[in-house]
Amino acid sequence: MYASLSKFPTLVTHQESLESKVNETKAMVKFQLKKVLCMGVAVGNCSMEEKQIFQNVQLSVNFLVSLLKKNWQNVRCLYLKSTMGSAIRVF
């Protein structure tokens, strides 16, 4: 069950705050790069402001592009999509 969610049990020591560890785990985003031509990454939710979502998109895209061998030369297109909305091409 945890493998499908990409969440595994986290070790918490007696000195650490349980609340801060829970918040840290909730905020964690895991990028999975496999032999596929596209991937989806959650960058925000409905309770976030536009500025926060924009910053998350920027950081996520820049991080993922930095992992590619040829950086932006390996990116053909980039889309933003909400859960129920249609995809919007950004790049």
Q: What percent of the chain has pLDDT over 70?
A: 80
* Sign of torsion over alpha carbons 57, 58, 61, 67: negative
Residue 1 has pLDDT above 60, yes or no: no
0.75 surpassed by pTM: no
